[in-house]
Structure formats: structure tokens, C-alpha cells
Amino acid sequence: MSSILVVYGTKTGCTTSIAEHIGATLVDAGWVVDVTAAEEKPDPSAYDAVIVGSGVRAGNWHGPVKSWVTTYAQTLKGMPTAFFTTGLTIARGPESADEVRAYTDPLVEATGVQPVDIGLFPGMNDLKKLSLPERLIMKAMKVPEGDFRDMDAVADWTREVVGKLGAE
């Protein structure tokens, strides 16, 4: 049985729920799975594959996830790795996919870690969970409030990406 490490970065917990849904989908399909926050600095070397993702601020993955990928770049380059990005731009529709997919280009360039795929998932705009400056930014930009997560789409992507990760 193959083992998969799911690593995530989050500010408000939104991406935690998506990482956990990826993990639960993999468990249902018979994989051995650990779902861990990037801050816990899990060592990927004992796993057969990795899925790593983050929420976004201003087109950037959160710092601890970028640091984790950078720290373990040598290991990740030698194993199948998929990325996923949780944000609100993708909630506008598929025409924003290229823009959102490109958020991780600088990380790929800096580390050489080449994802087999990048899942793009709508997140949440829950003003209660944001700092005052963040709330002001979201209001100024007239970003609609709400929960745009689509857990069925997360599960569909997970079942699809397993094939690309070569896990059996």
C-alpha cells in the first residue's frame, strides 16, 4: 500500500479543511495518509508521494509552506509531488485558472520542485476570521463574503491526481 503525505498552510483554517478532505478521500480509496501543517515540518522521505497546498495572500502561498517546500526540495524532487492552491480568484471562474496556477511559479523556479499537477480550489471569505487590515482590504476590493469551497471538486481532483502520483 502506498503512503501519501498531505502538507498544508493556512491562515484561517480554510485550507486545513481542504487538506483533510484530500486526506479522507485518499483513506477511503485505501491509501495510508498523514495530513500535517507545514509548521510541524513533517519529513516527506518516508512517504511514496506528497500533496502540498496553501491558501493565498496577494498571489503568494503562505510563508511556512514555501519554507517547507524549500527545506525538503531535494527530497521532493525525487518523489511525485502535487500542489494545490486555495483562494478566491479561482472562484471567479475557469478563466482565472492560468493566473492562479502561476502563483506557484516562483516557488517551482526557486526550488526545482515540479508538481505533477496543481489543484485549484475556491476558498472562503469569512471576514470574522480576518485581521482588521485584511478586512479593510477585502471590503475595499469588494470581494464577496462567503464560503466558496466545493468539497466534491476537491475529492474528484484527489482521485484523479493519485494516478499522476504513481501511487498504487
Ligand X SMILES: Cc1cc2nc3c(=O)[nH]c(=O)nc-3n(C[C@H](O)[C@H](O)[C@H](O)COP(=O)(O)O)c2cc1C
Binding site for ligand X (CB under 6 A): 10-12, 14-15, 55-59, 86-90, 100, 123-125, 130, 134, 137-138
What is the H or E stretch that residue 55 is in?
Answer: strand 49-57
Please provide residue 161's backbone torsions phi and psi, each rounded to the nearest 5 degrees: -75, -25
Q: Would you say 19 or 167 has its CB closer to ligand X?
A: 19
Q: Return d(Cα 160, Cα 147) in angstroms, integer.
A: 24
Contact of 161 with 117, CB cutoff 8 Å = yes
Q: Give least dist CB 98 to ligand X, A.
A: 13
Q: Give least dist CB 6 to ligand X, A.
A: 14
Q: Give least dist CB 38 to ligand X, A.
A: 11
- Count of H-run helices and E-run strands, the chain: 7, 8
Q: Would you say 11 or 151 has its CB closer to ligand X?
A: 11
Q: Give least dist CB 159 to ligand X, A.
A: 22
